[in-house]
Amino acid sequence: MYTNKAVQEWVEEMAKLTKPDDIVWIDGSEEEKKRLEEEAVSTGELTELNQKELPGCLLHRTAVNDVARVEHRTFICTKDKEDAGPTNNWMDPKEAYGKLGKLFDGSMKGRTMYVIPYLMGPVGSPFSKVGIELTDSIYVVLNMRIMTRMGKVAMDTLGNSNDFVKGLHSKAQLDEENRYICHFPEDNTIWSVNSGYGGNVLLGKKCFALRIASYMGKQEGWMAEHMLILGVEDPNGNVSYIAGAFPSACGKTNLAMLIPPAYAKGYKVWTVGDDIAWMRIGEDGRLWAVNPEAGFFGVAPGTSMKSNPNAMLTTRKNTIFTNVVQTPDNTVWWEGIGVDPPQEGIDWKGNPWTPESGEKGAHPNSRFTAPANQCPSISPEWENPEGVPISAILFGGRRARVAPLVYQSFDWEHGVFVGATMGSETTAAATGKLGVVRRDPMAMLPFCGYNMGDYFGHWLEMGKKLTHPPLIFNVNWFRTDDNDNFLWPGFGENFRVLKWILARCNGEVDALESPIGYLPKVEDIELEGIEDKVSIDRLSQLLELDEDAWKDEIKSQEEFFEKFDRLPKEIKGQLENLKDRFGF
């Protein structure tokens, strides 16, 4: 079907190893989609949902032991251990190929191998890259169809080149003791075995678009980042673009699809991407970004018409739901959806369920996979091959006392330091201990495909090449008072902070210099319509710096940086400068 010799030879080599009964080359057509869906429904791999209420939608349940990414089973396999760095699990490539080769040997006997050519990034874009994933899962094929540009379009882009990322996946036995997700950045290769869960097996997503692509970016002079991209359009039709990195549970998808509050008449927020940004320096010296994905792989619990109406509307058709509740009328429900639970249903494990069961009906990491082009707020520029120019970069996390609502870094180098020190505090429910800071630099700790000290260095090098760099900000929607009540209403009201950020980018407002960066003047954050929730006094509290908390924070940052063998001297210098500004 396809004539690329390098692809054919590699597929034959992998077929000899995995020994499938049949090989199917994916073309991305509607007829193929229909045929695969019918086959998966007939075997029980997928369940067709109520086609009147949820046209084109399907339900999938993973194995009970296979419900999330497995960071402790995820490896970066470089020849030199130091190149993987202290924050990644490392395995010698020879050892990894040997160990996983035994698990892959004959793993597709009695099954079909699907050959999935896919394109990451818009068609015709200089940003875009081709991958080929081999899998024995129709669930993977149908998800990759949503998440990437799949089939003939990818092979047409590849032409006769051998420059593609090789991805091999097999469910094998779904044996969690032998579950491995191995990345070989020096070989452009990903091997994933014994999992069927999306984050481990949709190899275009975190595996390629972040771990492999971050390494590519370092080699080729661009950036692959765990960032949303959104556009803010003012009443005159001018659009400014913002990229933002947030650890999990910090409202990243909600921000990407934000609806401005009622006071902001004439403003719109456009969604370019909710999860990943590939960024390059344009001829104009600015940073330009594309979303390499074609869909959203979102967490279902907590998503509702209140928290994220645009996400809910996106999932009303052509969506694959994973590990949610199946209702008696054959639709879906999950905790936090904002409507009462059904009196009975089938839970994520496939068992009868009622609200009185004492267990959650949907898995806390249950998912929806939905096409991005169905999102009501999708940007007209989201598939622009040139990308969009980034005016501001946001870093954020959950901090109860330390970080103010928003502040701006002094410059690019200081901004890299702000990103390198970001993190979130744990909740008691998660760990049994409240307020422990989990550092997650640039929200990339689990996703950086090489030594993170070198990654900081790459950020610093990119900054030197940018003649018009984006301004860098830190935001914190999660500041609390002495009774642990949130001081800021969040959700759509976060638009007020975005407005101040863009006013800074456009040179329209001044700011107050502080030891940590530039803080807003209280009068420059608009409170119209929320005066009953956020008084001037409360806003002042949101912007205060607690010196004792910062003393502890700086000590924590020092301890974190001690683990890095290749920490750039600029980062060490920024830490010393921060101490000096506080007088510590």
Q: Supply the CATH number for residue 238's domain.
A: 3.90.228.20
Domain-embedded: residue 90: yes
Q: What is the pLDDT of residue 434?
A: 62
Pairing type for strands 112-120 and 22-25 reads parallel
- Is the residue at 454 inside a domain? yes
Distance CA 454, CA 224 (A): 14
Q: What pLDDT, in 10s, does the model give residues 205-262?
A: 999 999 999 999 999 999 999 999 999 999 999 999 999 999 988 999 999 999 999 9
**Which residue, of 327, 353, 372, is where some domain finishes?**
372
Do both 173 and 34 map to the same domain?
yes
What SS3 state is found at 100? Answer: helix
In CATH, what number is assigned to the domain containing residue 310?
Answer: 2.170.8.10
**Helix-strand-coil split of the chain, %, nearest 5:** 35, 25, 45
Minimal CA–CA distance to 418: which of 362, 463, 382?
A: 463
Looking at residue 472, its pLDDT comes to: 99
State yes or no: is 182 an active-site residue. Answer: no
Instruction: Render pLDDT for 495-541 as a digit per residue (tens, 0 to 9).
Output: 999 999 999 999 999 999 999 999 999 999 999 999 999 999 999 99
In total, the chain counts a number of residues equal to 584
**At what angle are helices 30-43 and 138-147 packed, to 10 degrees?**
140
Please tell me whether residues 508 and 451 are part of one structural domain. Answer: yes
Residue 281 sits in the same domain as residue 235: yes
Task: Out of 200, 220, 240, pick the residue that ends a domain.
Answer: 220
One domain, residues 37 and 160: yes
Q: Are residues 284 and 307 in the same domain?
A: no
Say whether both 368 and 424 belong to one domain: no
Contact 426, 250 (CB under 8 A): no
| Closest CA relative to residue 520, chosen from 534, 535, 499 | 499
Least Cα distance to 296 among 372, 238, 237 occurs for 372
If DSSP codes are grouped into helix, strand and coil, which group holds residue 191? strand
Nearest CA to 97 among 11, 165, 6, 168?
168
As a whole number of angstroms, the distance between CA 457 and CA 394 comes to 19
Q: Do residues 86 and 101 share a domain?
A: yes
- Which amino acid would we find at residue 86? P
Between CA 447 and CA 207 the distance in angstroms is 8
3-state secondary structure of 320: strand
- The predicted-structure confidence for 317-354, as pLDDT tens digits, reads as follows 999 999 999 999 999 999 999 999 999 999 999 999 99
Tens of pLDDT, residue by residue over 39-60, are: 999 999 999 999 999 999 999 9
What digits encode the pLDDT tens for the residues 149-185?
999 999 999 999 999 999 999 999 999 999 999 999 9
> For the chain, what is the domain count?
3
What is the pLDDT, as a whole number, of residue 429? 45
Last residue of a domain, one of 354, 372, 390: 372
Q: How many CB atoms lie within 10 A of CB 437?
A: 21
Is the pLDDT score of 289 beyond 80? yes
Q: Helices marked H in 171-257 — which ranges? A: 198-201, 213-220, 252-256
Q: Which domain holds residue 366?
A: 296-372
In a shared domain, residues 287 and 312:
no
| Residue in this structure with the two tokens 């890095």, named with its chain if needed | 564
Q: 136: number of CA atoms within 13 Å, CB side?
A: 25
In a domain? residue 62:
no
In the three-class reduction of DSSP (H, G, I as helix; E, B as strand; rest coil), residue 92 is classed as coil
Kindly state whether residue 96 falls inside one of the protein's structural domains: yes
Q: What is the distance between the alpha carbons of residues 200 and 94, in angstroms, rounded to a whole number? A: 21
Average pLDDT, the chain: 96
| Residue 479 · residue 488 · CB < 8 Å | yes
Phi, psi of 247 (to 5 degrees): -65, 170
Instruction: Answer whether residue 204 shows pLDDT above 80.
Output: yes
Within a domain: 517: yes
Instruction: With CA atoms as reference, report the closest residue to 199 among 301, 65, 70, 103.
Output: 70
Q: Which two tokens stand for residue 343?
A: 């009196």
Under 8 Å between Cβ of 298 and 368: yes
pTM: 0.97
Q: Is residue 61 part of a domain?
A: no
Catalytic residue among 250, 375, 448, 505: 250
Sign of the C-alpha dihedral, residues 414, 418, 420, 421? positive
CA 37, 43, 45, 48 dihedral sign is positive
Beta bridge partners of 389: 288
Where residue 27 falls (left for φ over 0; alpha for ψ -120 to 50; beta otherwise) is alpha
Q: Token pair 């960024």 is at which residue? A: 279
Indicate if the pLDDT at residue 431 is higher than 50: no
Starting at the edge strand found earlier in the chain, the sheet holding 332-333 runs 332-333, 325-326, 345-346, 352-353
Q: What is the pLDDT of residues 84-131, one digit of tens each?
A: 999 999 999 999 999 999 999 999 999 999 999 999 999 999 999 999
- My answer on whether 455 and 511 are in the same domain is yes
pLDDT in tens, 437-463: 999 999 999 999 999 999 999 999 999
Per-residue pLDDT band for 427 (boundaries 50, 70, 90) equals low
DSSP element (H, E) containing 168: strand 165-170
Q: Are residues 531 and 506 in the same domain?
A: yes
Q: Give the count of beta carbons closer than 10 Å to the beta carbon of residue 486.
A: 12
Residue 498 in domain: yes
One domain, residues 213 and 230: no
Instruction: Give yes or no: residues 202 and 248 share one domain.
Output: no
Tell me whether residue 471 is in a domain: yes
The secondary element (H helix, E strand) that includes residue 415 is helix 412-420
Query: Region 58-84: what's the mean pLDDT?
Result: 96
Q: Can you give the pLDDT at residue 232?
A: 98
Write the DSSP assignment of 498-512 as a string of letters. HHHHHHHHTT-S--E
